[in-house]
Amino acid sequence: MSTMEMVIAAVGLVAISAFSRSFFFLSEKPWRLPGWLERGLRYAPLAALSAVVLPEVLLVQGHWPHDWRDARFFATAAAVAWAWWQKGMLGTILTGMAVLLALKLGLGW
């Protein structure tokens, strides 16, 4: 591709993206989502987080771990227990990382 073709393609992609994202704002009357969709969207962040975190915790290079002494399992359990008990994000992260580092550095897991 020439430089001019790349510039035209980039400008076209920006225009299409800007138009499609602002489509809801261009309407004169407000948009309402159906109730079932609003209820379903409440679970979207949890589903996305689970899709990213669970494979990282459960798999080692795409395979199930062969040993139960994986520090990630215990760090995850400790973080989940803390989140259930205290309901705080920072404490959950700190607890999980503290257990992970203690097992990795202290016990060599």
Going from N- to C-terminal start, the domains of the chain cover 67-109
Indicate whether 54 pLDDT > 90: no
Q: Token pair 């109730």 is at which residue?
A: 35
Indicate whether 64 pLDDT > 90: no
This prediction has a pTM of: 0.58
Considering the chain, what is the average pLDDT of its residues? 90
Given a contact cutoff of 8 angstroms between Cβ atoms, the answer to whether 96 and 83 are in contact is no
Indicate whether 23 pLDDT > 90: no
Burial of residue 75, with CB atoms counted within 10 A of its CB: 0-12 exposed, 13-18 middle, 19 or more buried: buried
